[in-house]
Amino acid sequence: MPQMGYDMKEGRLIKWLKGEGDEITTGEDIAEIETDKAIIPMPSPSGGILRKIITPEGEMVPVGTVLGFIGTLEEEIPSNLTSVPVENNNIPENENVTELNTSEPIEEPIIETPKSSSETIKASPVARRIAADKGIDLKLIQGTGPNGRIVEKDVLNYSQPSASPQPVTEAPKVSTTPSNINSEIIELNRMRQAVARTTSASSREAPHFYVTTDIDMTGTMEIRSQVNKALESQGKRVSVNDIIIKACAVALKNHQNFNATFHGDTIEIHPNINIGVAIDLDGSGLIQPCIMSCQNLSLAEISVGTKDLINRARENQLRAEEYIGSTFTISNLGMFDIESFTAIIAPPNCAILAVGSVRQQPVVSDGEITVKQMMKVTLSVDHRANDGAAAARFIGEIKSLLEQPIGLLV
Amino acid sequence: MAELTLRDAISLGLREAMDNDPRVIIMGEDVGAYNGAYVVTKGFLEEYGESRIIDTPISEAGFVGAGIGAAMAGLKPVVEIMTINFSLMASDQIINNAAKIHYMSGGQYSAPIIIRTVTGGGAGLAATHSQSFEGFYATIPGLKVLTPAFPDDALGLLRTAFKDNNPILYCEHALLYNVRGEIPDDSSFEVPFGKAKTRRNGSDITLVGYGRSVHTALLAAEKLQERNVDAEVIDLRTLRPLDIQTLIESTQKTHRCVVIEETWATGGFGSYVAYEIQKNAFDDLDGPVLHIGGLDVPAPYARNLEIMTIPNEQWILDAVEKEFGL
Amino acid sequence: MQVLEKTEIQPSELLNLYRDMKIIRLFEEKCSQLYMQGKIRGFLHLYIGEEAIAVGLASALNEDDHIITHYRDHGHALARGLEPRAIMAELCGKATGTSFGRGGSMHIFDASKNFAGGHAIVGGHLPLAAGLALAAKQLNEDRIVVCFFGDGALNQGEFHETMNLASVWKLPVLFFLENNFYGMGSHIDRTFAGGSKVHTIADRYKIPNSRIDGMDVLAVREASIDAIAKIRKTSKPYLLEAVTYRFQGHSMADPVTYRDRDEVDKWRPRDPIALLKEMLLEAGHASEKLIGRLDEEANLTVEDATQFAESSPDPDPNDLTKNIYA
């Protein structure tokens, strides 16, 4: 099949104008070829006798395919002639591209699609580079650039939480070699990486201690059901956690050292009380967005705010400051019927409250055994920022606020 | 050091070449009896005669092509196209002939022609007479494109152009002819192609321009100084060959870069410059590389409308504030 | 200065004309085969039927003179004396080609033969012809320029601009119109308003002109000698129209749907090679046997060129960007 145009790839043999045995001169039309443009008579490339027709009429064949054999009477017809494209013809299927010494290697673009925008930290490339060089976790930095972007000066102005800048020791890498041939190796998603990074940094850098107390929640539960009855017509509900947030907000006003960030040689007391809430994203990860300025919010407002926060967290609609702005965190596993646990402080906070479930328990009170609704809470404290007695006083205030909850409604 | 206008610097360069090299001829619309539409070749006809200062008919494809043919056959023609808008009539000659003849002939022929032309808007000439195509021509391999913004570069680049064996588009901005500047007395002073010039040193942000946008950038830099922002201003001087290295080094220092040009922002040459910077200085950036170009409208006639279409220093200040918070 | 006088042509010269035309014919037929085998790519425009023009003109030209032509250029190149091997290698995209595989069929160049190219934009090379002539005039060189173009170029602005420039500037150009009646697939009657005496369009530009039978190599030769002598004497342009016919389609991809087989058949007896052969035999300048020997000589030349081209190496990929700039 001849090439009858620079872009021709195949053609249809419409009609043989000569039959087997016919004598042919060079240039004489021997067949009609249909290209995608037209039907064209095909001149014979050589003279002789059309000894054999290989490609039958009507066949669509690639350029370079043998159509027939022209030769002298004496010539033997090659037995291997078939209606397939001739090998080694000069029409490349794909152009041969010879590698150039001068050309740059073409790298496959690596496109990472974050699962959710909540995993993305907006930081300029140079800010990222400096942060990586200094071992600073970008999550700890408040961006002041356009749209909350962490820019160069934010990283340069950020002082390390440790007394002296230390060479960063990488979190111990777990061998990726499977110990068992049947093991499945799962790549960490971005959120998992972030949790791994921050919790190990916190464990490493912040010396934790813990104080635990039992809180009688009977009064709180009573008030909650009354409030919820009143709110029923509005379709609103206050959760136990909302009340705990409110209690913490009130307590933090009097214990500002727990609404703080440790900076090595200074402690920064935050003017706003932004309480972070650990939210489980249905198994896909953990984030701790915060309710901003809790000191100004009523219980009802906190309740609305929490629900909104959880909804938006699940829909990736959180604002940047809500990811990184928390000043104190509450982690509540009560809904999982966990009695008590200890939590790792989320930097740059200096304390976190771990809340267990509210459960009916026999309690000895005034010499009598009564059944009360009890809840265990454990405060994790960064010892660099606060001592045990201060922690006891702080958790004590939370306890008394929750045991006499009427004050929280005001 | 003599102080000259950019116009006089070009005249000086042309006279030198006419005096030094009999192969040099000047041809174009009204370069002779009229003294040149922008008076660059004033007095040339009397001095050099009509065999070397050749008035052409208004026939851009014809006389630009003739210039290319003459260059192929041993002359060093300087062909003036009155404005770059009319170069479109000759674009077949410039792009298909001048830029290709050396490569397509396997190096046998070359076209050492200097095409002088006037670019830029802002003078109330409306849509067909206010365009800036130098960036477009700079996308074509085989051409060299020069965009002097100051008298010293105008002369130094022209001297280099006369020694170069390739087709050169020498683009003079219509509003820069009266810019004054010092010219080195040294007659060996030349400006190499493909070497950008830092016209102002700074540490906080890099402003890149060519032609008139360099002057816009310098005005912006003065205003930024009032905000305590120390801007570096780089003049590309030649779009092809293009000096990316100087831009990268500056951006690595300042971490912020703005590319400014007067032609339409969409697909403008500056967007390619911005791409090169972000690619090569990515890890040093504190924000996106900005590209400020003209508004995507045909140039309007009315003054109040036209000034809305061409970047001025305020555009730069606003963008720097919005994108970098500076 | 060698001015060819119209003289009685020697029989040996006639045999050369025959052989040169035959080489072109066989060369083009071979190209067609190589194209169908995929060894020549891109566009391929064959000169079959028009051989008398290139050969007749070339025999009237000095070595110093320039030839510049369009993209149906193999015939002109062969007639001008370019190496058949190098031309065929160029068509096959080989390192040994005239442009080292950078130009292909439509862009054959050889500066050593003053063959300033095949050019593939219809009419685009005409201004270059004016420039080549301008340089010759400016440098006081005794050269003229022959510029081949087809009837398709008549309607391009660059044709008219160049006619005008050449006349106004008195440039020594022979405008050689190869009128084969078709601009690709459109007949001249449907595209050109200037009437059937096409050459008289030059009258409006005060360029002397005439029309000849482009199938008669002797007529072409004599008219060329006349026209060239006039040009040398007056340093003014001249336009020759040779009426001819393209036996093949416009290019290999052309299904030739726009003209009747009858029309082609009517022209077949006007085949320039057959005509000269008949004349040689009738006048007793050659025997069938001698003609056969010339045919064989032509065949060997083409086979040798083909073998050379096919066995030549591809261009070195490392040289891809060589010769973009001089």
CATH number at residue B304: 3.40.50.920
Give the other-Cβ count within 10 Å of B86's Cβ.
Answer: 18
Which residues touch A308 (CB under 8 Å, ≥6 apart)?
Answer: none
Helix (H) or strand (E) holding B145: strand B144-146
The mean pLDDT value for A284-288 works out to: 77
Which of A17, A70, A90, A100 to mutate to test binding with chain C, by most C CBs within 10 Å of its CB? A90
- Among B183, B214, B230, where does a domain finish? B183
Chain A residues within an 8 Å CB radius of B283: 125-126, 128-129
Q: How far apart are CA A288 and CA A291, in angstroms?
A: 10
Chain A residues within an 8 Å CB radius of B325: 144-146, 151
Model confidence at A184: pLDDT above 90: no
User: CB of B323 within 8 Å of any CB in chain A?
Assistant: yes
The mean pLDDT value for A288-294 works out to: 89
Q: Label residue A174 by pLDDT band (50, 70, 90).
A: very low
Determine the residue of chain A that is closest to C33 in CA distance: A45
Q: Check CB contact under 8 Å for A38 and C42.
A: no
Chain C residues within an 8 Å CB radius of A27: 29
Q: How far is A73 from chain C (nearest CA, A)?
A: 23
Model confidence at A177: pLDDT above 60: no
User: CB of C265 within 8 Å of any CB in chain A?
Assistant: no
User: CB of B287 within 8 Å of any CB in chain A?
Assistant: yes
Model confidence at B144: pLDDT above 80: yes
Q: Are A403 and A229 in contact (CB under 8 A)?
A: no
DSSP state letters, B176-216: -TT-EEEE-S-TT----TT--EEEE--SSEEEEE-THHHHH
For residue A323, CA distances in Å to A117, A320, A344 come to 11, 5, 17
Q: Check CB contact under 8 Å for B284 and A125.
A: yes
Q: Which parts of B44-132 are beta strand (E)?
A: 53-55, 76-81, 114-119
User: CB of B109 within 8 Å of any CB in chain A?
Assistant: no
For residue B167, CA distances in Å to B5, B23, B101, B140, C103 come to 26, 15, 10, 11, 19
Q: How far is C14 from chain B (nearest CA, A)?
A: 33
Q: What is the pLDDT of residue A170?
A: 44
Task: Average pLDDT across each block of 10 residues of chain C; the chain has 326 residues. List them in order.
Answer: 59 95 97 94 95 97 98 98 98 98 97 97 98 97 97 97 98 98 93 95 97 97 97 97 93 86 92 96 94 97 98 96 96
Q: Is position C274 within any domain?
A: no
What class is the A10-71 domain? Answer: mainly beta
Q: What is the pLDDT of residue A236?
A: 83
Residues B113 and B42 in one domain: yes
Percent of chain B with pLDDT over 90: 98
Model confidence at B242: pLDDT above 90: yes
Q: Are A397 and A377 in contact (CB under 8 A)?
A: no
DSSP state letters, C154-169: GGSHHHHHHHHHHHHT
The boundaries of the domain holding residue B277 are 197-324
Residues B161 and B289 in one domain: no
Select the residue of B59, B65, B102 nearest C326 (Cβ to Cβ): B102
Fold of the domain spanning A207-409: Chloramphenicol Acetyltransferase (3.30.559)
Q: Is position C270 within any domain?
A: no
In chain A, which segments carry CATH 3.30.559.10? 207-409
User: CB of B76 within 8 Å of any CB in chain C?
Assistant: no
pLDDT tens-place string over residues C53-76: 999 999 999 999 999 999 999 999
Q: Is position B191 within any domain?
A: no
Q: What is the pLDDT of residue A38?
A: 76
Q: Check CB contact under 8 Å for C138 and B107.
A: no
For residue B200, CA distances in Å to B63, B91, C207 come to 40, 36, 59
Q: What is the pLDDT of residue C165?
A: 98
CATH classification at residue B31: 3.40.50.970
Which residues touch A31 (CB under 8 Å, ≥6 apart)?
Answer: A13, A14, A15, A16, A17, A18, A41, A42, A67, A68
pLDDT tens-place string over residues B262-286: 999 999 999 999 999 999 999 999 9
User: CB of A389 within 8 Å of any CB in chain C?
Assistant: no
Residues B49 and B135 in one domain: yes
- Among B183, B210, B239, where does a domain finish? B183
Q: Check CB contact under 8 Å for A146 and B282.
A: no
Residue type, B201: N
Structurally, chain B folds into a number of domains equal to 2
- Among B183, B214, B234, where does a domain finish? B183
Determine the residue of chain C that is closest to B23 in CA distance: C139
Determine the residue of chain C that is closest to B65 in CA distance: C127
Q: Check CB contact under 8 Å for B165 and C326.
A: yes
Name residues 238-257 of chain C within 8 A of A (Cβ): 251-253, 255-257
Q: ipTM of this predicted complex?
A: 0.94
Q: Which of A1-15, A205-219, C115-129 is predicted least confidently?
A: A1-15
Q: How far apart are CA A259 and CA A79, in angstroms?
A: 92
Q: Check CB contact under 8 Å for A89 and C37.
A: yes
Residues B13 and B115 in one domain: yes
Q: How far is C188 from chain B (nearest CA, A)?
A: 24
Helix (H, G, I), strand (E, B) or coil at B262: strand
Q: Is position C15 within any domain?
A: yes
Q: Is position B35 within any domain?
A: yes
CATH classification at residue C111: 3.40.50.970
Q: Label residue A85 by pLDDT band (50, 70, 90).
A: low
Q: How far is A85 from chain B (nearest CA, A)?
A: 33
Q: What is the pLDDT of residue B311?
A: 97
Chain B residues within an 8 Å CB radius of A125: 282-286
Residues B75 and B144 in one domain: yes
Q: How do strand B114-119 and strand B168-173 relate by DSSP bridges?
A: parallel
Residues B40 and B156 in one domain: yes
Q: How far apart are CA A312 and CA C95, in angstroms?
A: 66
Q: Check CB contact under 8 Å for A126 and B255.
A: yes
Q: What is the pLDDT of residue A147?
A: 84
Q: What does the block give as tokens for B104?
A: 């397509």
- By annotation, the residues of B acting in catalysis are 60, 129
∠ CA B2-B6-B9, rounded to 5°: 55
Model confidence at B124: pLDDT above 80: yes
Residues B173 and B203 in one domain: no
Residues B17 and B155 in one domain: yes
Residues B257 and B109 in one domain: no
Q: Is position C219 within any domain?
A: yes
Q: What is the pLDDT of residue A16?
A: 94
Chain C residues within an 8 Å CB radius of B68: 127-128, 131
Q: Check CB contact under 8 Å for C103 and B166.
A: no
Q: Is position B219 within any domain?
A: yes
Write down the mean pLDDT value for chain A: 82
Give the other-Cβ count within 10 Å of A338's Cβ.
Answer: 14
Q: Check CB contact under 8 Å for B255 and A149.
A: no
Q: Label residue A117 by pLDDT band (50, 70, 90).
A: very low
Residues B73 and B204 in one domain: no
Q: Is position B53 within any domain?
A: yes
The boundaries of the domain holding residue C103 are 11-264+287-306
Give the other-Cβ count within 10 Å of A254's Cβ.
Answer: 10
The mean pLDDT value for B13-27 works out to: 98
Q: Are C183 and C256 in contact (CB under 8 A)?
A: no
Q: What is the pLDDT of residue A180?
A: 63
Chain C residues within an 8 Å CB radius of A10: none
Which residues touch B83 (CB under 8 Å, ≥6 apart)?
Answer: B37, B117, B118, B119, B129, B174
Q: What is the pLDDT of residue A197?
A: 81
Q: What does the block give as tokens for A140?
A: 């700890």
Structurally, chain C folds into a number of domains equal to 1
Q: How far is B282 from chain A (nearest CA, A)?
A: 6
CATH number of the structural domain A117-157: 4.10.320.10
Q: How far is B16 from chain A (nearest CA, A)?
A: 40
Write down the mean pLDDT value for chain B: 97
Q: Check CB contact under 8 Å for C109 and B108.
A: yes
Residues B15 and B144 in one domain: yes
List helix spans (H) across chain B.
6-20, 44-48, 60-72, 91, 101-104, 134-137, 151-163, 212-226, 245-254, 269-280, 303-306, 313-324
Name residues 68-127 of chain A within 8 A of B (Cβ): 124-127
Model confidence at A284: pLDDT above 50: yes
Q: What is the pTM assigned to this prediction?
A: 0.71
Q: Check CB contact under 8 Å for A6 and C41.
A: yes
Chain C residues within an 8 Å CB radius of A2: 35-37
Q: What does the block give as tokens for B245?
A: 């290295």
Q: Are C229 and C238 in contact (CB under 8 A)?
A: no
Q: How far is A153 from chain B (nearest CA, A)?
A: 9
Name residues 14-53 of chain B within 8 A of C (Cβ): 23, 25, 51-52
Q: Check CB contact under 8 Å for C39 and A90.
A: yes
Chain B residues within an 8 Å CB radius of C161: 57, 59, 61-63, 65
The mean pLDDT value for A326-350 works out to: 91
pLDDT tens-place string over residues B169-224: 999 999 999 999 999 999 999 999 999 999 999 999 999 999 999 999 999 999 99
Which of A4, A17, A32, A70 to mutate to test binding with chain C, by most C CBs within 10 Å of its CB? A4
Q: How far is B254 from chain A (nearest CA, A)?
A: 11
Select the residue of C102, C111, C138 nearest B104 (Cβ to Cβ): C102
